Amino acid sequence: MNKENLYNYILGIADNSLILAQRLGELCGHGPNLETDIALTNISLDLLGQTRSYYQYAASVSGDSKTEDDIAFLRLERDYKNVLLLEQPNTHFGYVIGRQFLFDVYHLLFMQELQKSKDETLVAIANKGIKEVSYHQRFSSDWIKRLGDGTKESHDKIQEAIDALWRFTDELFDLTENDNTMVEAGIAVDVSKLKEKYYKSVAEVLTEATLTIPESKFFTRGGKTGTHTEHMGYLLADLQYMQRTYPDMKW
């Protein structure tokens, strides 16, 4: 394991938080009611906070003059390593909750393991983040139940979203070459080992929500190696707009 491995590993985690925070940021001011609007913005803020901690750490690891903003805003699309699930659009509130839930269950398991890392900074970030993430998971699970066991319309809408997003879940448990190196070094979480627990937890909530667990065995992947869905380019065009248009300035 070298510096570059660690740098890349941090980015792989951080990009997930950044891209989900960005998607949630789009919703601010457009929620179904004020309470939900505020709650989703809170989640976005938590994720942004985590993102900043990770990138700041990555910047310090890189040793060059890079800042958190250079890392966040000035990479090419192929260099963002977030999972495909998180870049999927806010098609409707069912998709927002479905995406959040399918990530939160993973994220909480991940954070619990990251607390055991040999890297102290990552442990510190995980210690702080885990409270936030367990709140997120409670929030999204509650909404899965409300929508699933609410009205006929809401049941169908959240089922539609879960069915559509399901194919992006398997990627969460992929290990890249870099991940493997970092697992061996005792720093990275071996996400492949979280899979069983994940699908069990997800199934429990879906079942309580009177929803059907999708059966498809066909999954889409690519985010962890930087091959994104066609939604990603548009997300980045907005995200990077200011930094690209006004290079090398302070804000």
Q: Which is nearer to a copy of itself, 118 or 241 (CB)?
A: 241
Pairwise CA distance, residues 41 & 57, whole Å: 24
Question: Are 187 and 122 in contact, with CB atoms under 8 Å apart?
Answer: yes
Question: Are 234 and 87 in contact, with CB atoms under 8 Å apart?
Answer: no
Asked if 28 touches a copy of itself (CB under 8 A), the answer is: no
Greatest Cα pair distance, the chain, in angstroms, is 55
Q: Site for another protein (CB under 8 A): which residue of 1, 3, 32, 109?
A: 32
Question: In b/e form, how buried is each residue of 123-148, taking b as 16+ CB within 10 angstroms?
Answer: eebbeebbebbebbbebbbebbbebb
Find the part of the chain contacting a copy of itself (CB under 8 A) among 35-43, 99-107, 166-174, 232-240: 232-240
Q: Site for another protein (CB under 8 A): which residue of 22, 100, 159, 169?
A: 22
Asked if 212 touches another protein (CB under 8 A), the answer is: no
Pairwise CA distance, residues 53 & 123, whole Å: 12
Find the part of the chain contacting a copy of itself (CB under 8 A) among 59-67, 141-149, 201-209, 234-242: 234-242
Asked if 78 touches a copy of itself (CB under 8 A), the answer is: no
Asked if 150 touches another protein (CB under 8 A), the answer is: yes
- 244 interface partner picked from another protein, a copy of itself, none, CB below 5 to 8 A per type: a copy of itself
Asked if 240 touches a copy of itself (CB under 8 A), the answer is: yes
Q: How many CA atoms lie within 13 A of 161 on its CB side?
A: 26
Asked if 197 touches another protein (CB under 8 A), the answer is: no
Question: Are 50 and 108 in contact, with CB atoms under 8 Å apart?
Answer: no
Return the structure tokens found at 114: 């990251």
Return the structure tokens found at 177: 């070459």
Q: Which is nearer to another protein, 90 or 112 (CB)?
A: 90
Q: Site for another protein (CB under 8 A): which residue of 44, 140, 141, 169?
A: 44
Asked if 124 touches a copy of itself (CB under 8 A), the answer is: no
Find the part of the chain contacting another protein (CB under 8 A) among 74-82, 110-118, 173-181, 197-205: 74-82
Pairwise CA distance, residues 126 & 42, whole Å: 18
Return the structure tokens found at 25: 């940021």
Asked if 62 touches another protein (CB under 8 A), the answer is: no
| Rounded-to-10 torsion of CA 99, 162, 177, 232 | -50
Q: Which residues bind a copy of itself (CB under 8 A)?
A: 76, 233-234, 237-238, 240-241, 244-245
